[in-house]
Structure formats: structure tokens, C-alpha cells
Structure 1
Amino acid sequence: PAHSRTRRVQLQCPNGNARTYKIRVVTSCKCKRFRPHHNLSDVKDVPKRQPIRKHGRLSHERSKNNTPLTGNSY
């Protein structure tokens, strides 16, 4: 298929000889998008993301300014 290619792999025999075999290797698939380092969450300390606040303070200031004026409001 188009999603695989052949690759030469050297295998070490128990008696010390090295043999080279051609095997078919997957080049693209969904499962290959995740590499082994993606699964090492225990090893690296990932900081939590701070929530992104868009215009957080503006809404608070607007609520202050929207209080109705009492008395003579000319």
C-alpha cells in the first residue's frame, strides 16, 4: 500500500552474528501521530494552563459605571 515502505533492520543473533532483514514499515496512520514521549506524562512536570480571560476587568468596571444616577441627573 501507499502508507508503507520497506526498511532495513539489523537483528543481532544469539551467536553474535548480525542479520539484515527488510520489513514493511507504516509511514502514516492515526496511531503513529502519537509518539512514545507523548505517554511520558509521569516523567515531565506539566504546568497547568492559566485560564485565558478576555476583557475580564472591563466587565467589572462597566458594571460600576452602569449604576443609575439618583437625584438631579442633568
Structure 2
Amino acid sequence: MEKFFEMARKLLAEQLDINPLEISMETPFEKIDADSIDIVEMIMALEDTYDIEFPEEDLEDYTTMGSLVEALWTYLQQSQK
């Protein structure tokens, strides 16, 4: 999962034009001014990378980078079975 987090962090940092080190698993999206469009764009880039389609209906339930990354990672693991 660490590699997955690093990829997500890199993608989001590029979109927000910030240092990736400013984003940890505990970072609230609000703190880094990431809105829903930024988050969806990051997810779309991850979908391209992993050739999968993540569900996006509950995005507002994830308020931190870690909560979203864990949910996406779990979905990725389940779909590869």
C-alpha cells in the first residue's frame, strides 16, 4: 500500500502544485485546499495507472488522504481477485 500512497500523493501534489511531503496519510484535504475536482482528477489518474474504475459515489465521506487511499487500495485489492 505504501507504493500506492506514494503514487496518489505524487499525483495530488502535482495537481495542487505543492510539495508531496506536505501530504501525509493524516492530511485533511481541506488543509491542502484540495477540492472534489482535485480529488476526482487524482482518482482518474490512478484509474489510468491501475486500469480500474474506482467508485466515486461516496467521495465526500473521505476527509483525509489516508481514508481515501485506504478505501481505494481495498477496492483495488478486491477487484484483482
Question: TM-score, normalising length from structure 1?
Answer: 0.21
| Max Rg structure | 1
Structure (1 or 2) with the greater strand fraction: 1
